[in-house]
Structure 1
Amino acid sequence: MRHSSQKYLARSSSRFLLINRNYTFLWIGSAISYTGDVLFLISLTLWIGTLLQNQSYAPLAISGIGLSAALPALLISPFAGVFVDRWQKQKIMRFMDVIRAILVLSLLLVSGPGPLPFFSASTSVLPIPMKLGIIYLVVGAQSSLSQFFNPSTKALLREIVPEERLTQASALTTGTAFAVWPVGSALAGICYANLGVNLAILLNAASFICSWVLIRSMHVSEPAPSLEGVKQGLHHVFKELWEGFQCIEGNLLLRTLLCAESLLAFGFGIYNTMGFFFITQNLHVPVSLYGLFNGVQSFGGILGTWLISRSATTRGHPRVYYTARVLAGIAMMVTAFQSQPLIALVGMVIISIAHSCTEALVGPLILGATPEKMEGRVFSTFGTATTISSLLATFLSGYLSSTLLHPVAFHASFITLNAASILTSCAGIALLGGGLYASKHFRKMKSAEM
């Protein structure tokens, strides 16, 4: 009887597993942590906007959040990859979760009155510039730690997921990120309106603790770091970093993906920068519905990750990757000149479907072409390159829309031509170019294998 009940419990628990026990814990931890991050960042934006209400420099102060998060990716990410390859990835992730939780909680010292009134006396005397400086420091420090955590997560997939199910695992993770964004955004607005920023700080810190508990519960067999790797000095770090660059340079698939992903980041850097103006000005969507309009697009991302696990195996990963890139580019170019909200929303959903497909595929493609000892460095290099492309696109689109393209304004029955539409179409060209570039080189690799 006892044996039968144990078998029943084992079968019941297996129904709730995604791929396997380890991946299920990693997936749940990532979902909780990402929800906390979205809630935190949106709440910070609302917090700074409230602090600087009616101040002319408020948009610049809010953009400082993105800059504080991006700079560590440029300065630290490549070097972080070296240490990810040296150390045990599960321990790196646990350590980073603890430190990130402590960093986020430190903002309670400057957040002012809220759910924790005993902090209000110490924070009321702080001038706003000092509060902003502390916020930027915490965001930058948290982003620095994420440069170790994120490549560790991607590299750990090879240890806990069978190779034939890597695409399914990547699709689940990508789909969860798309699903979590509107949930986190909605929670941020509700929490901030009713309880202030302190609740968002506490929830984000709690999400890191939950992630730590779940990662600790995973059973992963990783080799212990060698004593030689621990003792190696700074010159060895640069040497190993250069080896990572050479690994990408010597592999046509990795070089192709790096260029395609950089073009993708450039295109979406423009798309995200101009999105608010495109939706509210070109499509005439009320500002009060902007969040809802954006949230609908996320369902396309969920659908895309559901489709990818069924199409990638039969059609091949590279083919699906570049086809989705081309489709996203064409859809963005067509959507850019629309003035009808419904038609534009359909185009945005198609963009989201195609984008989620490629996001789900790029991780397995990189893992399949990268030696295990180089995974951290390769993923970190990709992160650095895409961050540079995104920042460049953000700067250029913001500058051009405020200067050269600002006077452009033409409107017909179904077409709007202005800075937002011109730059969004350029974003589509970048995506299309990345897809065609990938198609050319993937076909070349296929013909060489034959």
Structure 2
Amino acid sequence: MFPRFSKRLRTFPKLALLINRNYTLLWLGGAISQIGDTLFTMMLILWIGTLLQNQSAAPLAVSGVVLAAALPALLIGPFAGVFVDRWPKQRTMRIMDALRAVLVCSLLPISGPLPLPLALKLTIIYLVVAVVSGLSQFFTPATRAILKEVVPQEQLTRASALTVGATTFSWAIGPAFAGICYVSLGARWAIALNAASFACSWVLVGRMRVSAAERRASAQSTSLWSVLTELREGLRFIQGQLQLRTLLLTQSLYSFGWGIVSVLALFYITQNIHVPMSLFGLVSTAPPIGGILGTVLVDRTAAKVGATRVYARALLFAGVMVVVSTVPNQVFIDLVGFTLIGIATMQAEALVGPLVLFATPSPLVGRVFSTLGTVTTLSSLLATFLSGYLSSTLLQGVVVHLPTGELNATNLLYIGAGVLIFMGGLLASRQFRKLQERNHMEMTYLKTDNRRSQHR
């Protein structure tokens, strides 16, 4: 008995690994950091809402956090990719973690009873959020790019699924824990926990063992002209690759559609299907729960059917389910629909990373991921603005009568979002089929050419 127990104990560290040691450390660091980010974001919303309690400017002040986080992605993101491709990925991630931890800690003095004007407090919060978001534009592409170094190519889909699953899990539990943490402990503890999460990520990433080639920095010119030249090279590469162009377009459509769904979720759940505000958080966990299940299934499904087919079918299914679950205005149907939508969308999200890595050489990975992130962020921002504007102005009071019930502005915008996501799936299906046909023709030509050369 004891020898068997000792043998199992010796093999436990290997069984606990996710793919390999390096990826396990990377995954743990990212998961801890993501949970800290979620707690921090939700805490900021609650904190600002408390500071401006019962004031008409409260919604605008809260939206300022979203804007402060999004602007660096639009302004810095594409250029950050150039430097990510130049710099050692591991060192870049550790530097960004250290800087983000220090910046988040700078909010501790103003989170207490320090007598500062409200406008100054908000300005400091927005500046810290903006700078932290700017640093994340370097950290996130570096995390995705280093996967080629630490994960075998045949395991990339599984690695991406595990990473997306950790992100989905953090967003499933983050809002609930943020509320409990803020009410019982205050803003200081949430700030300290987020800073500690960056410190944990710094330690774990530092324990990774990477090749000597990855540790070497690129001694290239840092002039504006050289940066712009390399940025143009990355954009031209994307333009010349059908798979990357397709992903850029489909992810833009998906981000726009899902942005509409996310912005109007509160109104749809509380007004259309009449769920009490106290249960809003519970109903909102349906997509993340489905998303976790989707990431569990995606590796096996992609191995059987193919990554491109699963990606396209996931978007098609998600688009249909957004429309189908929107029309009846029934709680049970919506809960099932939201869960199925979560399964499909997270499968698509998990496959984006591997599809980009399969089509991109290592020296260009940072630029490709940064460009993709910038475009999707812009699409999501446009969706946020347009959906809020249309529901408050042009579509306000519009009601469409159907045998199953009435459709208001929120329903109509949800249907439009579903159609956009479905169009993204159609585009992906068509373009990837064209890519497969082209690859098949090239393979046939190469085989024929080899046969001819052998006969000669």
* Corresponding residue number in structure 1 for 2:362: 372
* Corresponding residue number in structure 1 for 2:421: 431
Is the Cα contact below 8 Å between 1:261 and 1:434 reproduced in 2?
yes
* Corresponding residue number in structure 2 for 1:115: none
* Corresponding residue number in structure 2 for 1:351: 341
* Corresponding residue number in structure 2 for 1:75: 75
Amino acid of the structure 2 residue aligned with 1:399 = Y
Is the Cα contact below 8 Å between 1:282 and 1:339 reproduced in 2?
yes
**Which whole-Å deviations, capped at 9, do the CAs of 1:334-387 have from their partners, x for residues lacking one?**
122231111011111111000010011110000000011000000000000001
Counting only pairs closer than 5 Å after superposition, residues 260-275 of structure 1 correspond to structure 2 as: 260-275=250-265
* Corresponding residue number in structure 2 for 1:111: 111
Change (3 A) 1:87 1:263: same
Residues in 2 aligned to 1:297 and 1:281: alpha-carbon distance in whole angstroms: 19
Residues in 1 aligned to 2:293 and 2:198: alpha-carbon distance in whole angstroms: 28
1:422 and 2:400 aligned: no
Change (3 A) 1:227 1:401: closer
Cα drift, residue 409 of structure 1: 3.4
Change (3 A) 1:222 1:239: farther
The partner residue of 1:188 within 178, 182, 206 is 178
Residues in 2 aligned to 1:290 and 1:171: alpha-carbon distance in whole angstroms: 27
Change (3 A) 1:111 1:416: farther
Cα drift, residue 109 of structure 1: 1.4
* Corresponding residue number in structure 2 for 1:383: 373
Cα drift, residue 196 of structure 1: 1.1
Is the Cα contact below 8 Å between 1:32 and 1:207 reproduced in 2?
yes
Is the Cα contact below 8 Å between 2:86 and 2:218 reproduced in 1?
no
**Which whole-Å deviations, capped at 9, do the CAs of 1:84-105 have from their partners, x for residues lacking one?**
0000000000000010001111
* Corresponding residue number in structure 1 for 2:100: 100
1:307 and 2:275 aligned: no
Cα drift, residue 170 of structure 1: 0.6
Is the Cα contact below 8 Å between 2:290 and 2:340 reproduced in 1?
yes
The normalised TM-score by structure 1 is: 0.94
> Mind listing any 5+ residue stretches in structure 2 that lack a counterpart?
441-456
The partner residue of 1:295 within 285, 306, 309 is 285
1:244 and 2:256 aligned: no
* Corresponding residue number in structure 2 for 1:43: 43
**Which whole-Å deviations, capped at 9, do the CAs of 1:2-58 have from their partners, x for residues lacking one?**
xx9997665221011010000111111111101001101111101111111110111
Q: Secondary structure at the match of 2:211?
A: coil
Amino acid of the structure 1 residue aligned with 2:87 = W
* Corresponding residue number in structure 2 for 1:216: 206
Cα drift, residue 152 of structure 1: 0.3
* Corresponding residue number in structure 2 for 1:403: 393
Residues in 1 aligned to 2:404 and 2:101: alpha-carbon distance in whole angstroms: 49
> Mind listing any 5+ residue stretches in structure 1 that lack a counterpart?
113-119
Cα drift, residue 295 of structure 1: 1.3
Is the Cα contact below 8 Å between 1:35 and 1:180 reproduced in 2?
yes
Is the Cα contact below 8 Å between 2:87 and 2:218 reproduced in 1?
no
1:202 and 2:192 aligned: yes
* Corresponding residue number in structure 1 for 2:32: 32
**Which whole-Å deviations, capped at 9, do the CAs of 1:103-143 have from their partners, x for residues lacking one?**
1111111112xxxxxxx2xx2x2111111111100000000
**Which whole-Å deviations, capped at 9, do the CAs of 1:389-435 have from their partners, x for residues lacking one?**
11111110010001011112356674331111111111101100100
Q: Secondary structure at the match of 2:407?
A: strand
* Corresponding residue number in structure 2 for 1:116: none
Q: Secondary structure at the match of 1:110?
A: helix
* Corresponding residue number in structure 2 for 1:132: 122
* Corresponding residue number in structure 2 for 1:53: 53
Residues in 2 aligned to 1:228 and 1:157: alpha-carbon distance in whole angstroms: 23
Residues in 2 aligned to 1:65 and 1:57: alpha-carbon distance in whole angstroms: 13
Is the Cα contact below 8 Å between 1:81 and 1:379 reproduced in 2?
yes
The partner residue of 2:219 within 222, 225, 228 is 228
Residues in 2 aligned to 1:415 and 1:219: alpha-carbon distance in whole angstroms: 59
Residues in 1 aligned to 2:376 and 2:363: alpha-carbon distance in whole angstroms: 22
* Corresponding residue number in structure 2 for 1:85: 85
Residues in 2 aligned to 1:448 and 1:222: alpha-carbon distance in whole angstroms: 37
Cα drift, residue 221 of structure 1: 1.1
Amino acid of the structure 2 residue aligned with 1:242 = R
Superposition CA RMSD, Å: 1.7
Residues in 2 aligned to 1:363 and 1:195: alpha-carbon distance in whole angstroms: 37
Is the Cα contact below 8 Å between 2:94 and 2:205 reproduced in 1?
yes
Amino acid of the structure 2 residue aligned with 1:152 = A
The normalised TM-score by structure 2 is: 0.93
* Corresponding residue number in structure 1 for 2:321: 331
Amino acid of the structure 2 residue aligned with 1:272 = S
Is the Cα contact below 8 Å between 1:304 and 1:352 reproduced in 2?
yes
Residues in 1 aligned to 2:79 and 2:275: alpha-carbon distance in whole angstroms: 44
Percent identity between matched residues is: 55
Is the Cα contact below 8 Å between 2:298 and 2:347 reproduced in 1?
yes
Q: Secondary structure at the match of 1:416?
A: strand
* Corresponding residue number in structure 1 for 2:452: none
Is the Cα contact below 8 Å between 1:76 and 1:144 reproduced in 2?
yes
* Corresponding residue number in structure 2 for 1:316: 306
Amino acid of the structure 2 residue aligned with 1:53 = Q
Amino acid of the structure 1 residue aligned with 2:59 = P
